[in-house]
Amino acid sequence: MENQMEIVILPDSAEVGRVAASVIADVVARKPDGALGLATGSSPLAIYDELARRAAAGELDFSRMRGFALDEYVGLDYAHPESYHAVIDRTVTKPLGMDPELVSVPDGLAQDVPAACAAYEAAIDAAGGIDVQILGIGANGHIGFNEPTSSLASRTRIKTLTPKTRADNARFFDSPEAVPTHCVTQGLGTILRARRLVLVAQGEAKAEAIAAAVEGPVSASCPASVLQLHEHATVVIDEGAASRLHNADYYRYTWANKPEWQRY
Ligand code: GLP
For the chain, percent of residues with pLDDT exceeding 70: 98
83-127 pLDDT tens trace = 999 999 999 999 999 999 999 999 999 999 999 999 999 999 999
The yes-or-no answer on residue 147 being catalytic is: yes
Protein residue with its CA nearest to atom 5 in ligand 1: 138
Averaged pLDDT, 249-262 = 89
pLDDT band at 264 (very low <50, low <70, confident <90, very high): low
pLDDT band at 261 (very low <50, low <70, confident <90, very high): confident
Task: Pick from 43, 204, 236 the residue to mutate for probing ligand 1's pocket: most ligand atoms within 8 Å of its CB.
Answer: 43
* Residues in contact with ligand 1 (CB, 6 Å cut-off): 39-43, 70-71, 136-138, 144-145, 165, 169
2-28 pLDDT tens trace = 677 899 999 999 999 999 999 999 999
Considering only 2-11, 153-162, 163-172, 181-190, which range has the smallest mean pLDDT? 2-11
The yes-or-no answer on residue 140 being catalytic is: yes
Distance (Å) of CA 85 to CA 33, 102, 131: 21, 13, 21
From the candidates 82, 85, 131, 140, give the one annotated as an active-site residue: 140
DSSP string covering 143-180, please?
A: BTTB-TT--TT--SEEEEPPHHHHHHHGGGSSSGGGS-
Averaged pLDDT, 154-160 = 97
The yes-or-no answer on residue 80 being catalytic is: no
Q: What is the pTM of this model?
A: 0.96
User: 159, 182 in Cβ contact below 8 A?
Assistant: yes
